[in-house]
Amino acid sequence: MSTREGTAVSLDARVGLALGTLDLEVEMTVGTGELVVLLGPNGAGKTTLLRALAGLVALDRGRVVLDGVVLEDAEAGEHVPTERRPIGFVFQDYLLFPHLSALENVAFGLRARGLPRAEARRRSAAWLDRVGLAGQAGSRPRALSGGQAQRVALARAMVSDPRLLLLDEPLAALDAASRTEVRRELRRHLASFDGTRLLVTHDPLEAIALADRLVILEDGRITQTGTAQEVSSRPRSRYAAELVGVNLFRGRAADGAIRLAGGAALVAAGDHRGEVFAAVHPHAVALHRRAPEGTPRNVWAGTAEALEVVGDRVRVRVTGPVPIVAEVTPAAAAELRLADGGPVWASVKATEVTVYPA
Amino acid sequence: MPRSRIRSAVPLLALGLLAAGCGNGEPAGGSAGSSDEIKVFAAASLTGAFTELGGRYTAANDGTKVTFNFAGSQALATQIRQDAPADVFASADTGNMDKVKDLVGTPQSFAGNLLQIVVEQGNPRDVNGLEDLARGDLKVVLAAEEVPAGKYARQVLDKAGVTVAPVSLEDNVKAVVSKVALGEADAGIVYVTDVTGGGDKVEAVDIPDDHNVSATYPIAVVRTSRSQLKAQAFTDLVRSAEGRRVLERFGFLPPPTA
Amino acid sequence: MTGPARRRQAGGRSRVPGLLLVPAGLAVGFLAIPLVGLLGRTPWADLPAALTAPQVREALRLSLVCSLGAVAVSVLVGVPLAFVLARVEFPGRNLVRALTTLPMVLPPVVGGVALLLAFGRRGLAGQWLERAFGISLPFTTTGAILAEAFVAMPFLVITTEAGLRAMDRRFEDAAATLGAGRWTTVRRVTLPMIAPSLGAGVALCWARALGEFGATITFAGNLPGVTQTMPLAVYLALETDLEAAIALSLVLLAISLAVLVALRDRWFPTA
């Protein structure tokens, strides 16, 4: 259900808590060596979930077990304090200690856990070398660039060999130009790490580039989990659908039609029953100014509202009984004078509707 | 608009400053020069007696108020040298009066005082004389040497041949009394009048006459006073039979002769 | 405003309205003129003799001992108090904070009287101290240190608490994720990060302790070599020997100035 077949479970978490306006209720597992990406809109609770797993926020309900060790059990009243959890945390703005050099920052965790100074410095220097910052060992954080600081933060979190590595939007603080390069680096470093990794982001590109498995969190609830491939071919939430860029509908299938909330119906190929999702790619939606004749089984009237140029296509938002986004060529958009808005007819072939159980 | 408001505020500000400046148009000793008030600088030991005399003065001189500044005589002398506004100066010794002799009229002695040992009510530490003050277990407080009471106390101790290690040197004699009254110090050497003035928290232990020192209190009108007549009237009251009776009631002696 | 004046204003680099310079100038004058007056009346020729007099050296030594002692006391108990006030939510926290600032608004002599009533021989706690340990605080150097600590500690507590509140507490979270226990975090992360506020607090505390007079003379008394610190020596000298008083004042001024100049970079942290 959550982990891939055959992978041992490393992190087993059931988290229930309320914080401010957020109500978080999540159940998830992460396999040994798996890199799970938590994806979702702002305010979904991703950072809170990470902080809860780290022990920085107490659970109201639930249980967190890492590699067989109970880190927290709200009902039994158990709570292992953060400093005793075998975790590493990379914060969104790195939080490198400004009064310590890069080397001292990396060595901090080792020294805190009792390693003698010389040994700690040696291991830290090795890690800095590994992330390509051997020359910056003596620099203060304020002298480092964004990408460099990120690497120091990563080294600092990983140097103590944590069982669980938590990364909170590790690329968010970088400008667009450095992001691609750093993402590549990050992927390389994360790949060489054999513990469990849980990374939070709101950037779908990052998610797809890094994830073994995606977990989509919306409004405190998990709405979908699966590989990037699974999520994009079968999105199960508005957010996922918008990520992938398809139109998503949900309804009850019976007698060859899918009845949507609000009364309209979609006709799809194939025999389906019960609660289903129906996905329609925008480029499968044809627009007309007059009611079309011919084969499409799905035809309805609507109003052309917003227009958006995406690459060499034009996306048109059509409102009405079946709100849908259509993608047409600029030529078609000009010919239909879609820029003027007004009533249009949308049609979709039954074969272009992908249906899967809800 | 803000700018015009600021512009109109500036002349008002200037006017205010001018008005404040005008207040300094009077000469030094200005506020003391106003016709219904005189300022008397008097030694701390005179607090009780002079306050009462001040009341009588006001009653007899159609409401002229008397404002007092009681402090150690050495402090008052320095203040007068710094042109502090005073009309009358009454010191606890001739030494401090001498310091300002060019600034005052002819000083006249008006009272005398003897010294006593002051202890807490009930004499809990069993102090019976000057020799006891040298005991190691006693906390003795004296006035600082610059203060007349302190100077006299040292003279008394010298005469008796007693060495005392005080725990504190206060800058006026009333502070010595209060330390003993509070129970912080066991004993001190103060004027006879201070013991009476200390109320029921303290009591006295006599100093034998051959060890005692007699303090002379001179009084004088300050030359720069703007109310010479009224100041003179006050000193006359102090030196009159009525004044002497009040002083006696507070424990003062008549001025020592010569 | 006419043409040239307007241009001048627009061309200036700061956005401070010109009219503010007037009261600002008055403030500078108000603070500087007394100091200039002091320097002007200093008997420069007699200064070396006045300064090496044994009573002056004694007073100076005592001042340094007592003020540094007061700072030590303030740091030992005041910094933990600042931590508790800044980080722990407990009922009555506002009352405790008000209590901490009380010595700052209390007239120092009143503070001295309060200390007597608390720690004097007949005092609330003083009685017990004397009976149980034979410790008597008035008239002792320790008493002077306590009097100075009483008035100076609030400065340290307030400044340190402000620094703690201003600090980004997620750094402490980061330290925890790296395995640092609470004490290690305080030692290696929190304290170094609030060092500028702490430094400024210590400087203020020390300066206040050095200048304390009212509470000291009321509670600890005045005895050369034991409790007569510089401010007391100046006050008494004022009554008899003005030149000596000025010389002593100058010494106090020079020391305070030296410390403030040395610490000026810490005054405004360059974070």
Residues of B in contact with C236 (CB under 8 A): 144, 146, 171
Q: Determine the pLDDT at residue A149.
A: 93
* CB nearest to C179's CB, from A56, A97, A112: A112
Chains B and C touch (3+ CB pairs under 8 A): yes
Rounded to a whole number, what is the distance in Å from the CA of C223 to chain B's nearest CA? 5
pLDDT at C4: 52
Contacts of A273 (CB under 8 A, 6+ apart): A253, A254
A141: exposed, middle or buried (Cβ count in 10 Å: 0-12, 13-18, 19+): buried
**pLDDT, position B31:** 43
The CA distances from residue C2 to B3, C5, C7, in Å, are: 13, 6, 9
pLDDT recorded at residue B9 = 45
Pairing of strands A196-201, A35-39: parallel
Residue B13 has pLDDT above 80, yes or no: no
The contacts of residue A269 (CB under 8 Å, 6+ apart) are A350, A351, A353
pLDDT, residue A311, reads 84
Q: Do B146 and C121 touch (CB under 8 A)?
A: no
Please check whether residue B18 touches C, CB under 8 A: no
pLDDT of residue A272: 84
Residue B12 has pLDDT above 70, yes or no: no
Query: Which subunits count as partners of chain C given 3+ CB pairs below 8 Å?
Result: A, B
Nearest to B184 among C121, C222, C226 (CB): C121
Contact A98 C193 (CB under 8 A): yes
Q: What are phi and psi of B65, to 5 degrees?
A: -80, 150
Q: Which one of B169, B171, B183 has the shortest CB-CB distance to C121?
A: B183
Token pair in block for residue B5: 């408001």
Q: Judge whether residue B120 has pLDDT over 80.
A: yes
Position A341 scores a pLDDT of 82
Binding-face residues of C in 156-215 toward A, CB within 8 A: 168, 170-171, 173-181, 184, 188-189, 192-193, 195
Query: Of the ranges A98-112, B10-24, C88-102, which one carries the lowest mean pLDDT score?
Result: B10-24
Q: Which residues of C touch B139 (CB under 8 A)?
A: 139
Instruction: Round to whole Å and give the CA distance between B141 and B172.
Output: 11
Q: In this structure, are residues A137 and A125 in contact, taking their beta carbons and an 8 Å threshold?
A: yes
pLDDT in tens, B129-141: 999 999 988 999 9
A2 pLDDT tier (thresholds 50, 70, 90): very low
Query: For residue B158, what are the contacts with CB-CB under 8 A and spacing of at least 6?
Result: none
Please check the confidence at residue A91 and state whether its pLDDT lies above 50. Answer: yes
Q: Tell me the C-alpha distance between B29 and B159, whole Å.
A: 42
Question: Based on the number of CB atoms within 10 Å of its own CB, is C54 exposed (0-12), middle (13-18) or buried (19 or more)?
Answer: exposed
Distance CA B170, CA B140 (A): 11
Mean pLDDT of C41-50: 77
Q: Nearest 5°: phi and psi at B141?
A: -115, 135
Interchain CB contact of C116 with B (< 8 Å):
yes
- What pLDDT, on the 0 to 100 scale, is given for residue C266? 55
More confident residue, A264 or B140: B140
Per the CB < 8 A criterion, the answer to whether A29 and A9 are in contact is: yes
What are the C-alpha distances in Å from C192 to residues A339, B250, C157, C179, C187? 61, 65, 17, 18, 7
Does residue A197 carry a pLDDT above 90? no
Mutate to test the interface with A, among C170, C178, C189 (most CBs of A within 10 A): C178
Kindly indicate the confidence band of residue C269, based on its pLDDT and cuts at 50, 70 and 90: very low
- Structure confidence at residue C163 (pLDDT): 95
pLDDT in tens, A226-241: 998 888 888 998 888 8
| Percent of chain B residues topping a pLDDT of 90 | 60
Lowest mean pLDDT among A184-188, B26-30, B200-204: B26-30
Contacts of A117 in chain C (CB under 8 A): none
* Helix %, strand %, coil % of chain B (to 5): 45, 20, 35
pLDDT digits (tens, 9 = 90+) for B171-195: 888 899 999 998 899 999 999 888 8
| Cα–Cα distance measured from residue B24 to residue B21, given in angstroms and rounded to the nearest whole number | 6
Backbone phi and psi for residue B72, each to the nearest 5 degrees, phi listed first = -60, 140
d(CA B69, CA B77): 12
pLDDT in tens, A27-41: 999 988 888 999 988
The single-letter code of the amino acid at B156 is: V
CB atoms within 10 A of CB A50: 24
Interchain CB contact of C271 with A (< 8 Å):
yes
Going by beta carbons, is chain B in contact with chain A, meaning 3 or more pairs sit under 8 Å apart? Answer: no
The shortest C-alpha distance from B35 to chain C (Å) reads: 30
Contacts of C121 in chain B (CB under 8 A): 183-184
pLDDT one-digit tens code per residue, C84-119 = 999 999 999 999 999 999 999 999 989 999 999 999
Beta bridge partners of B60: none
Chain B residues whose CB is inside 8 A of the C235 CB are: 171
**Average per-residue pLDDT for chain C:** 86
Subunits touching A (CB < 8 Å, at least 3 pairs)?
Answer: C
ipTM value for the complex: 0.83
Banded model confidence at residue A260, pLDDT cuts 50, 70, 90? confident
pLDDT of residue C235: 86
Least confident of B49-58, C46-55, C132-141: C46-55
Whether residue A82 lies within 8 A of chain C, CB to CB, comes out as yes
Mean pLDDT (chain A, rounded): 89
Residue of C169, C8, C7, C141 lying closest to C83 (CA atoms):
C169
Average pLDDT over residues A133-157: 92
- Which pLDDT value is given to residue A6? 59
CB contact under 8 A, A56 and C174: no
Nearest of C211, C212, C214, C171 to residue C193 by alpha carbon: C171
Q: What is the pLDDT of residue B6?
A: 44
Nearest CA-CA partner of C5 in B127, B3, A43? B3
3-class SS of residue A237 = coil
Whether the predicted pLDDT of B33 surpasses 50: no
- Cβ atoms within 10 Å of B119's Cβ, excluding its own: 24
Kindly state the average pLDDT of the residues A159-170. 92
Residues of A in contact with C173 (CB under 8 A): 51, 54, 56, 82, 91, 95
Out of A81, A99, A156, the one facing C193 most closely (by C-beta) is A99
Tell me what percent of the residues of chain A surpass a pLDDT of 70.
Answer: 98
Do the chains contact at A97 and C181, CB–CB below 8 Å?
no
Give the per-residue pLDDT at B186.
93
Q: Give yes or no for residue C178 having a pLDDT over 60.
A: yes
